[in-house]
Structures are given as structure tokens and as C-alpha cells.
């Protein structure tokens, strides 16, 4: 059987991705949120913590206003424009979620590669450590990290990253174990290749696809986790425009107005939906089993 050129497989993957409606919907939603984060200073009429009265000479009220031409999503209890804070909040939410997933990949992937390649004692030590981490509820891990480092966005990122490390370690280990005994790996080993070369140049490419898919899906989960910690009031900095913090503040005023909660809630939902659609599309596009059909 003739070997398939890598470029041919990549072309088919791109074709499957471009033909999928889920791909374009996911890209649109993710692009919308990223665009809002990058362009917040230019597309919003107010600053994140700027109060505004609806008309000149109007008495300032520390209360909610309904949507209007000046405030499309109304204002919150501090008289901040909700839409403005939702747009600015995309910066912190996406940045914290993205950095935490990057941290999880940078620690979990090497751990999974080492466990899958060496096996034996190394595998047992790494995976038992992962099992211990998984034995603790994720919220408890977050509390421990935030207690050790106090409130702020750095401990939030560390906490969410730590929660996701076991997911990547297990997935990468499984990918490595499926290929470590294949002929091309044995041939490289027989040629005298070092362990470092075998792990990073021969075996690691087998884990690239699952890591890309898992990271894309994980970004949605990380956004929820960051917002959840902020909603509980155990992370971030007071006064920051961030979706979870906005929901935390809005919950105390649901009896007077829903708009301060609808804005950040919809932003979280659309962001998670976008990353999930994008991750599903990447998984389908990169599935090499479809090339045999």
C-alpha cells in the first residue's frame, strides 16, 4: 500500500474543517469574543469603571437602569454600563483561561510523555500523583492555592491550571502508549536514538492532535472555572471587570433587575459554546480514521 503524504492528510483535514458548519459557527463566536477583548478601548463608549447618568442634570442613583439607546444592556448597581463591562471583562476571562490551559499543557504533556515512554516505576509514580490530585475536588484545590497565595489573578490562573494538568497528562500518556511499540519507533530505538530524541521527536508528534483538540475544548471549561472562582469571591481583584465577578454582584439585585446578570451570563455561554464547537470540529477534521473512508 502506498504511504500517504502528510501534506495530503493535512489538506483533507482542512477540507473537512472548512466544510463543517460547526467550524464556522465556533470560529465566529470565538472571534467575536477575541475581537471584543482586543478592541474594547475603541468600541465601548465608557471606561470599565466609569459611572454615567442617563441625562444631563439627572440625580445619580446607585440603582439599575433598564436598557436604552445609551446603555444597551442597562446599568448595574454601581451605575456602570453593563455592556461596557462585559466587553472589558472578556479580556480578563479569556486571558486567565488561556494562560491556565497553557500552564496545564506545559506541565501535563511532558508528564504524560514521560509516563507513556518509560512505563514501570516512572509511569506508576507519575500516574499515582495524578490520581492523588484527582482525588481532591477541584474547588478544594482552588481554595488551597488561593489560600496559599491570597487573592489575585495569578493564583486563579495557577489553580485552574493545576485542575487541568491531570486531564492532559492522562490523554498524552494514552496517545504515547498506543504508538511506542510501533515499528517506526522500534526502528528509531534500534538505530541508537537517545531517550530524549525518541520522546520529543518520534513519540511527541502522536500527541499533538489530541492536545490541540483537548486544549480547545479545555479553554471553554477554563473560562467557566475562572468565572466560578471569581463568582465565589475567592479570586481576582475587587472592582475588576470580569464576568464571574459581575455575576456575583448581580445576584444580590436579581429582584430589581436581570440585565446585569444576563450580559455576563450570555458572554460566558457563548464563549464556551464557541470553544466547544471549535474543538468538536477540530477533532472531526483531524481524525485520521476518516482518511481511510
* Domains held by the chain: number: 1
Kindly state whether residue 59 falls inside one of the protein's structural domains: no
Q: How many CB atoms lie within 10 A of CB 288?
A: 11
Kindly state whether residue 66 falls inside one of the protein's structural domains: no
Kindly state whether residue 35 falls inside one of the protein's structural domains: yes
178: domain CATH number is 1.10.3720.10
Beta bridge partners of 75: 65, 81
Kindly state whether residue 10 falls inside one of the protein's structural domains: no
Cβ burial 130-147 (10 Å sphere, 16+ → b, else e)? beeeeeeebeebbbebbe
State how far the Cα of 283 lies from the Cα of 288, in Å rounded to an integer. Answer: 10
Kindly state whether residue 92 falls inside one of the protein's structural domains: yes
Kindly state whether residue 57 falls inside one of the protein's structural domains: no
- Per-residue pLDDT 10s for the chain (293 aa) are 334 444 555 778 788 888 888 899 999 999 999 999 999 889 887 887 777 654 333 444 445 577 777 877 878 877 788 888 899 999 989 999 999 999 999 999 999 999 999 989 999 999 999 998 888 888 888 888 877 877 778 888 998 999 999 999 999 999 999 998 889 889 988 888 898 899 999 999 989 989 999 999 999 999 999 998 888 877 666 677 889 888 888 887 777 778 888 999 999 999 999 999 999 999 888 876 555 44
Domain coverage including residue 150: 15-48+72-292
pTM listed for this prediction: 0.85
CA distances from 110 to 50, 97, 186, 207 (A): 45, 20, 21, 10
Kindly state whether residue 67 falls inside one of the protein's structural domains: no
Q: Report residue 127 as a C-alpha cell.
A: 500516574
From the CA atom positions of the chain, what is the Rg in Å? Answer: 23
Kindly state whether residue 61 falls inside one of the protein's structural domains: no
Amino acid at each position: 500500500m502506498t504511504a500517504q503524504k502528510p501534506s495530503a492528510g493535512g489538506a483533507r483535514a482542512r477540507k473537512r474543517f472548512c466544510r463543517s458548519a460547526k467550524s464556522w459557527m465556533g470560529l465566529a463566536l470565538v472571534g467575536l469574543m477575541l475581537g471584543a477583548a482586543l478592541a474594547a478601548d475603541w468600541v465601548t463608549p465608557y471606561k470599565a469603571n466609569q459611572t454615567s447618568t442617563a441625562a444631563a442634570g439627572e440625580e445619580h442613583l446607585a440603582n439599575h437602569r433598564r436598557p436604552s439607546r445609551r446603555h444597551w444592556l442597562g446599568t448595574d448597581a454601581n451605575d456602570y454600563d453593563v455592556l461596557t463591562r462585559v466587553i472589558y471583562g472578556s479580556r480578563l476571562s479569556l486571558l486567565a483561561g488561556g494562560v491556565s490551559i497553557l500552564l496545564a499543557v506545559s506541565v501535563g504533556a511532558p508528564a504524560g510523555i514521560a509516563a507513556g515512554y518509560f512505563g514501570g516505576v516512572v509511569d506508576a509514580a507519575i500516574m499515582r500523583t495524578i490520581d492523588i490530585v484527582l482525588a481532591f475536588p477541584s474547588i478544594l484545590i482552588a481554595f488551597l492555592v488561593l489560600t496559599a497565595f491570597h487573592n489575585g489573578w495569578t493564583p486563579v490562573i495557577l489553580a485552574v491550571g493545576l485542575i487541568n494538568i491531570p486531564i492532559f497528562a492522562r490523554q498524552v500518556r494514552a496517545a504515547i502508549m498506543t504508538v511506542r511499540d510501533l515499528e517506526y519507533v522500534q526502528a528509531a530505538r534500534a538505530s541508537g536514538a537517545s531517550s530524549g530524541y525518541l520522546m520529543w521527536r518520534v513519540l511527541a508528534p502522536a500527541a499533538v492532535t489530541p492536545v490541540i483538540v483537548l486544549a480547545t475544548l479545555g479553554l471553554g471549561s477554563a473560562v467557566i472555572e475562572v468565572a466560578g472562582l471569581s463568582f465565589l469571591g475567592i479570586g481576582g481583584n475587587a472592582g475588576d471587570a470580569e464576568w464571574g465577578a459581575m455575576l456575583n454582584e448581580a445576584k444580590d439585585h436579581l429582584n430589581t433587575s436581570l440585565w446585569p446578570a444576563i450580559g455576563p451570563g450570555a458572554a460566558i455561554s457563548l464563549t464556551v459554546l464557541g470553544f466547544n464547537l471549535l474543538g468538536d470540529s477540530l477533532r472531526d477534521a483531524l481524525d485520521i480514521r476518516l482518511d481511510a473512508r
